[in-house]
Amino acid sequence: MGLLNTVKDVLAASSSSTNRGTSTNESKGAYWCHDCSERLLDLDVPGEGPPACPECGDEMEFERSPGSTGCAC
């Protein structure tokens, strides 16, 4: 029974953990081009302001639900 209890403990600990990694940077959302369905994570965009879409060149729109606790994808 010791092995079975150990497996149960490991599974319970891994499914209830809120730590999803060790990254110090936390995304606040993503930039989207709705025409091209392109998405760029805000952490991948250099500089300030919205980037141009890599497909069509139009300005991308930042999206994030204010009350959301999940990712922007």
Domain extents in the chain: 27-64
Question: DSSP class of residue 14?
Answer: H
Instruction: Please check whether residue 72 is in contact with residue 43, taking contact to mean a CB–CB distance below 8 angstroms.
Output: no
pLDDT, residue 18, reads 55
pLDDT tens for each residue of 36-51 = 999 999 999 998 889 9
Residue 26, classed as helix, strand or coil, is coil
29 backbone φψ class: left, alpha, beta (φ>0; ψ -120 to 50)? left
- What average pLDDT does this structure show over 24-40? 89
pTM: 0.55
